Amino acid sequence: MPRFMLAPKNRRFYDYFDRSVENLYAASSRLVDLFDNFENREEKAQAIKKLERDGDEITHRIIETLHLSFVTPIDREDIALLTQRLDDVLDFMEGATKRLLLYNIQEPAPQAIEITHVIKKVTAELNKAVPLLRNHRRLKEILPHCVEIHRLENEADDLHNAALSDLFNKEPDVREILKWRDIYQQLERSVDRGEDVANVLEGIVLKYA
């Protein structure tokens, strides 16, 4: 009687995920530098755009590998969702920088600067948490990073609300209100998608730890 063996689990996913969060952190560092040092804006925005395209390529590789893999190390749905949410974090970062140029912003708002620092902290936590996926015995070590990301999302919410309050109460130019409301929304959504990544990670931990 012939013996059949399951195809080996494709562990390249972990390498791709590691590259994805490293790319995210690099982009968030560029974002902070752009808002902290508001010069050479087009050059800095292009650097972030390049990282966003690199992220898209990583996303494509993960999805391609997912379609070609018979057996995966974690649920296919979790791989697909984690991939998409990581991609979203960077998409919204790049969306904020694109709008800075589109709206010809001459000076960054203080709360916007603070939110970019929160984004960088979120990506730093993801950069620590995601590599732990490859070792199921260490999965529970992911949870403290998720807790910190939830805390950071609350911090970003407070900053976002304060920014909108200042905007609507102190800014007389309706055009400036519309511009900055859009930029704040992009930054806030980047943090939100980071929290979504944390939620996916927590679900994986519950399944496999």
Residues 182-202: tens digit of each pLDDT: 999 999 999 999 999 999 999
Q: What is the pLDDT of residue 9?
A: 65
What is the CATH number for 63?
Answer: 1.20.58.220
Q: What is the pLDDT of residue 143?
A: 98
Q: Specify if 4 maps to a domain.
A: no
71 secondary structure, DSSP code = S
**pTM score, whole prediction:** 0.94
4 vs 170, residue with greater confidence: 170
**For residue 48, what are the domain limits?**
12-208
For residue 19, pLDDT over 50 is answered with yes
For residue 78, pLDDT over 70 is answered with yes
For residue 169, pLDDT over 70 is answered with yes
108 vs 8, residue with greater confidence: 108
Q: Specify if 3 maps to a domain.
A: no
Find, among 110, 187, 196, the residue nearest to 150 by Cα: 196
Q: Specify if 195 maps to a domain.
A: yes
Q: What does pLDDT average to over the chain?
A: 94
d(CA 142, CA 6): 29
**Residue appearing with tokens 């007389």:** 172
d(CA 132, CA 69): 21
Q: What is the pLDDT of residue 86?
A: 97
Which whole number is the average pLDDT over 9-29? 93
Amino acid at 8: P
Find, among 125, 177, 175, 164, the residue nearest to 147 by Cα: 125
Q: Specify if 7 maps to a domain.
A: no
Is 205 in contact with 143 (CB distance < 8 Å)?
A: yes
Q: Specify if 2 maps to a domain.
A: no
Is 120 in contact with 194 (CB distance < 8 Å)?
A: no
Which whole number is the average pLDDT over 8-25? 90
Domain count, the chain: 1
Q: Specify if 67 maps to a domain.
A: yes
Q: What is the pLDDT of residue 70?
A: 87
Q: Specify if 6 maps to a domain.
A: no
Q: Is 139 helix (H, G, I), strand (E, B) or coil?
A: helix
Q: Specify if 203 maps to a domain.
A: yes
